[in-house]
Structure 1
C-alpha cells in the first residue's frame, strides 16, 4: 500500500514540530502516514537506544512508516558533517555503520543519503559540482569508493540506501553508479525538482531512474527564463500547483515499485529558487551528458510560465521569489496541499486501473 508522509530536518527547523514521538503525533494529526528524518543524529545525537525505541514504538502505534537519513557519501565534503564523524570517534565510515546498526535494530530499513549539499554561492558554485580544486569526476570516483566501503554493512543489516537526485548530481551519473554496483542494497531517492538544476527534463530524468527508485522527496516546480535571458530559474511549489504531470509521474513510479512511499519534502518560507546558468561555458563544461533536447524542453516550461503569468493564470517570477517568516505555517500548507493532490491522483490511478 502506498502511503504519504513528510520529510523533516529537525536540525534545520528546531522544535517547530516537536521532538521524538511528539513529532509523529503532529504529523499524524495532519493526516500523514510516515516521515523521513533527514539524519538519524537529528533524532538522537548519540543514538540513545531509549530515545530511538520510543520513536519506533509510537510510529508502530500510529501505523506510520519511518525512513531515516544517515549522512552523505561524498568524501570531499564529509567535514561538513561532524556529527557523523563523532559517532565513529573520528572515523566517518564507522559513524555511518553505527547509524546502519541502529536503524536495523529499529526496523528502519529504507535509508536516505545524498552526494553533497547546496552552498550559499551563485551558480555554478552553488553545489560541490563546481569546485575547481576538486573536479567533479574525482568526487564521483570517491563517492563510488565510499559506497563500496559501506556496502558490506548494508548487506549485513539488509538495508537499502537511496541516493537522492540531489542538486549536484545528474540522473545519468546516478544510474551509472547504481548499475555499476548492481546491488539491491543501493537505489535512488527521487526528488523531481532537482534534475532541473542540472539541465534535465523532468520526464526524461524520471524515465532514466524509475527502475531504481526506492524512496521519494516529492515537490513540484515552476520554471521561468531568468530576467537576463541567459539562464533558467526554478521555484519549488506544492505538488499539483506547478508544472509536473503527477498522473504521469506517479504512474511511472508505481509501475516500477507499487509499494513506494510518497514522502513530501515541504519548504517553509523559502521559495526554493535555483538559477541554472545554461549559457555559461563553465557550467556547460561540468555536464558531459547535457542534452540540447532536454534543455529545449525546459525552455518550453519557462515560456509557458511567462504566458500563464501574463494571463493571470499563474504567479509571476517576482510573486514566487519571496520569503515568508511564518516558516511552520508555510511548510504545513505546502505539505497539506501536496498530500491532497497526491491522494487525488492515486484515487484516479486506482479507478483507471483497479488491479493496481
Structure 2
C-alpha cells in the first residue's frame, strides 16, 4: 500500500501522459493505466484532464470504477473549468467513480470568470458537493494569480473548497514556488508532485522550462512538505510529470515509466 502516514501517494493520468495519448502507436486505455498503477503498488489514481472521460456514459464510468475496485485502487477526479453545469456534470461523474475530490482550474476557452463570478458559482454549487461528500480543489497555475484564487477560497469559506498545490505551474507568471507554497499552505486539499528545471536552449539563446525527475530539479520538496504538512492533514500527494517528447516513441515511454518509478521511490523514502 502506498501511504506516507495518513497521506497517500497516488499517480495521476499525467504520469502516463504520452502513453495515454494518440502520439504512441498503441495507446493505453484508462483501464490499462489503472493496471499499471496497481503493478507499481499504488492504490490511489487521479484521472485528471482525461478527455475520453467526458464522452463516457454511466455504464462506461461504472466499468472504470469496477476496474479500480478490483485492483484495490481509490479514484480521484480532475477537470478544467468552473461553470455550474460543468461542475455538476463532474459531481455526477465523481459519484459513479467514488471520488471524494474534484480538482479544477478557473479558466477554459470562452469562460474566464471574475473573482466575484467565481465566488457566486461556488456559493451556488457547493451545497450539492457537500451533500455528496466531494471537495473541490482549485489548482495553482499561471493563468490566474495565486492571490486571486485564494481570495475566492477565503470569500467562500467552506471546508469543501480549497487548493490543489502545484508550485511548478506558477513560475511562468513569475510567482516563485516558495512564495506560492507559503500563500496556499493553510488551504491545501490536494498536492500535485512534479519536479521542474530550466535548461539552456541550443546556442545558449534562452531557456526551456520543463520537467525533471523528482529530486533532481528545483522543487524544494522538503520545504513544501514542512509548510503543508500532508501527513498530519491527510492530504494526498499525486505524481505528475512534465516530460517532453523524446526522439522516439520507445525512448519517451521508457523515460515516462522511469520517472514514475523514481517519483514513487523518492516519495516512499520520505
User: 1 CA distance for matches of 2:146 and 2:244?
Assistant: 28
Residue 10 of structure 2: aligned partner: 5
User: 2 CA distance for matches of 1:19 and 1:243?
Assistant: 32
Of 10, 27, 32, 2:42 maps to 32
User: 1 CA distance for matches of 2:115 and 2:184?
Assistant: 18
Of 29, 41, 49, 1:19 maps to 29
Residue 178 of structure 2: aligned partner: 203
User: 2 CA distance for matches of 1:263 and 1:215?
Assistant: 8
Please report how far the alpha carbon of residue 199 of structure 1 lies from its aligned counterpart in structure 2 after TM superposition.
Answer: 1.5
Matches within 5 A, 1:159-308: 159-223=134-198, 234-254=209-229, 257-270=232-245
In terms of Rg, which structure is larger?
1
Task: Evaluate the alpha carbon distance shift between residue 104 and residue 240 of structure 1 in structure 2; reply closer, same or farther with a 3 A threshold.
Answer: same
* TM-score after normalising by structure 1: 0.63
Please report how far the alpha carbon of residue 8 of structure 1 lies from its aligned counterpart in structure 2 after TM superposition.
Answer: 1.1
User: 2 CA distance for matches of 1:32 and 1:68?
Assistant: 16
SS, match of residue 33 in structure 2: helix
What are the superposed Cα offsets for residues 1-47 of structure 1, whole Å, 9 maximum, x if unpaired? 3222222157972486632433211222133332111247523514x
What are the superposed Cα offsets for residues 38-73 of structure 1, whole Å, 9 maximum, x if unpaired? 247523514x22222222233223232211123312
Residue 102 of structure 1: aligned partner: 93
* TM-score after normalising by structure 2: 0.80
Task: Evaluate the alpha carbon distance shift between residue 224 and residue 95 of structure 1 in structure 2; reply closer, same or farther with a 3 A threshold.
Answer: closer
- Retained in 1: the 8 A contact 2:211–2:244? no
Task: Evaluate the alpha carbon distance shift between residue 252 and residue 49 of structure 1 in structure 2; reply closer, same or farther with a 3 A threshold.
Answer: same
Q: How many residues align?
A: 256
For CA contacts below 8 A with separation 6 or more, give which structure has more relative contact order. Answer: 2
Answer yes or no: is 1:112 the counterpart of 2:100.
no
- Retained in 2: the 8 A contact 1:196–1:234? no
Runs of 4+ in 1 over 6 A off after TM superposition: none
Structure 2 unaligned residues grouped into runs of 5+: 1-5
User: 1 CA distance for matches of 2:200 and 2:115?
Assistant: 30
Structure 1 unaligned residues grouped into runs of 5+: 74-91, 118-127, 271-322, 346-356
Root-mean-square deviation over aligned CA pairs: 3.1
